[in-house]
Amino acid sequence: MLIAAARIITASGSASAANAVLSPGFVTCEDGRIVEASAGVPPSRPDVVLRDGFLLPGFVDLQVNGYFGVELASADADGWSALASRLPATGTTAFMPTFITSPVGEMAAALRRTAGLLPGVTAVPRRARVLGVHLEGPFISAKRHGAHNPDWIISPTEESVETLLSAGAGLTKLVTIAPELDGAMAAIKRLVAAGIVVSVGHSDATAQQVASAAMCGATMVTHLFNAQSPLRHREPGVVGQALADRRLSSSIIVDLHHVAGQVVAIAFAAAPGRLCLISDAAACAGMPPGEYLLGGEPIVLAEGDGTPPVRADGTLAGSALRMDSAVANLVAIGVGLAEAVAAATRLPADLIGRRDLGRIAVGAAADLTWVSDDLRTNATWIGGRQAYGPNLG
């Protein structure tokens, strides 16, 4: 397949790189991979011509609790299949399902159930890629539990860590943990040794405790600013250490409700190249207002474009955010388009070691998203096969 486009944002290097924007440009795909990405006019007649908008790498979302009425922690194969089939309509071509805090036995059972059904879900082409599971809990702070049920929060023990490792062998790729808990540093070392990315989150840690977690191998902070100790001038907390420590990258929810636009802009100025966009989408995403589930407990999505769902007490509980909307929001507050696209593509892919995703570059997977001038998804391709949008050839 040969695609010619008016503008291509490759996200294959820094936003200032010469190849960050190809205008015009073309991409050649063979056997699901990109074999050429160049500026100028294609050497032969293209199969697809995109005369407006932008051709981007497919979005990579590291935190999806659910979508389209489906909560992934409890979903059956049909639910998983429906979500993975429909997610490309938002521009997302690869995602990390997220299971929030529940009793360890239930989390282990959810991991085993997911491991059993995923082969059938992922065997079908044109579905968003499943990148492994993100366990957001149960090793988090009761002081910063957010929408998580505090009754199910525990400190990590060797037994509980091994239970989850065994149940999620080869499937668990990311774990969010509060480093101030008893046993947390040993747990971080064990998880990292098992090849799992460790992220600091739902934490009341001091900056020094976060730095210690980084020394033990943590490389990430989950949804920066939300459910964590804030930046203060004498105690930087999780937020301050996340922004200052070059060993750490952070995810951030840019629906402009979880974090104000001015604060998002400050974060991107403070930590360029170390912030990635996530949706933190719950089952209500893509659905009408009403009651849904997160972590097996009710949340309510009210009227209002982009308004997050809440628990009964008003606590924010995930989001209803699309990744293309997150990119558009980021651009609207003044972040450059190439930088915003990288935050939704290459940077999250790199965080989990998937350098074959999130970029338009030779050898990368042919996962592509075509967006309009206002950054709304028009079409997507996964492995070079069109997964969403009008038939373009």
Q: How far apart are CA 231 and CA 177, in angstroms?
A: 19
Rounded average pLDDT over 38-59 = 96
Q: Residue 33 is part of which domain span?
A: 2-55+361-388
Task: State residue 18's pLDDT score.
Answer: 59
Task: State residue 12's pLDDT score.
Answer: 83
Q: Is residue 259 part of a domain?
A: yes
Burial of 170 per CB tally in 10 Å (0-12, 13-18, 19+): exposed
Rounded average pLDDT over 46-57 = 97
Task: State residue 260's pLDDT score.
Answer: 97
The CA-based dihedral angle spanning residues 254, 260, 261, 264, taken in that order and rounded to the nearest 10 degrees: -70
Residue 80 or residue 306, greater confidence: 80
Owner of token pair 């009210």: 302
The CA-based dihedral angle spanning residues 158, 164, 167, 172, taken in that order and rounded to the nearest 10 degrees: -130
Say yes or no: 84 and 192 in one domain: yes
What angle is formed at CA 104 by the lines to CA 169 and CA 94, rounded to 5 degrees? 50
Averaged pLDDT score across all residues of the chain: 96
Reported as a pLDDT band with limits 50, 70 and 90, residue 246 is very high
Rounded average pLDDT over 349-356 = 97
Task: State residue 16's pLDDT score.
Answer: 64
Active site residues: 280
Least confident piece of the model among 18-22, 178-182, 192-196: 18-22
Q: Is residue 286 part of a domain?
A: yes
Identity at 271, one-letter amino acid code: A
Say yes or no: 337 and 274 in one domain: yes
Say yes or no: 368 and 301 in one domain: no
Q: Is residue 356 part of a domain?
A: no
Q: How far apart are CA 258 and CA 389, in angstroms?
A: 30
Task: State residue 13's pLDDT score.
Answer: 75
Say yes or no: 100 and 44 in one domain: no
Helix/strand/coil percent split, the chain, to 5: 30, 25, 45
CB contact at 8 A, 114 and 167:
no
Percentage of the chain surpassing pLDDT 70? 98
Looking up residue 26, the CATH number of its domain turns out to be: 2.30.40.10
Say yes or no: 208 and 319 in one domain: yes
Say yes or no: 218 and 310 in one domain: yes
pLDDT 10s digits, 112-171:
999 999 999 999 999 999 999 999 999 999 999 999 999 999 999 999 999 999 999 999
Measured between alpha carbons, how far is residue 250 from residues 57, 89, 321, 387 in Å?
Answer: 20, 25, 18, 29
Task: State residue 303's pLDDT score.
Answer: 80
Say yes or no: 264 and 374 in one domain: no
Q: Is residue 182 part of a domain?
A: yes
pLDDT 10s digits, 191-217:
999 999 999 999 999 999 999 999 999
Joined together, the tokens standing for residue 1 give 């397949």
Residue 365 has pLDDT above 90, yes or no: yes
Owner of token pair 């207002």: 289
Q: How far apart are CA 187 and CA 217, in angstroms?
A: 10
Number of CB atoms found within 10 A of residue 214's CB: 21
- Could you tell me which of 317, 345, 286, 264 has the C-alpha nearest to residue 90? 286
Q: Which are the contacts of 350, defined by CB distance < 8 A and separation ≥ 6?
A: 358
Reported as a pLDDT band with limits 50, 70 and 90, residue 17 is low
Q: Is residue 89 part of a domain?
A: yes
Task: State residue 110's pLDDT score.
Answer: 97
How many domains does one find in the chain?
2
Residue 305 has pLDDT above 70, yes or no: no
Say yes or no: 38 and 84 in one domain: no
Say yes or no: 25 and 141 in one domain: no
What angle is formed at CA 229 by the lines to CA 231 and CA 155, rounded to 5 degrees? 155
Looking up residue 164, the CATH number of its domain turns out to be: 3.20.20.140
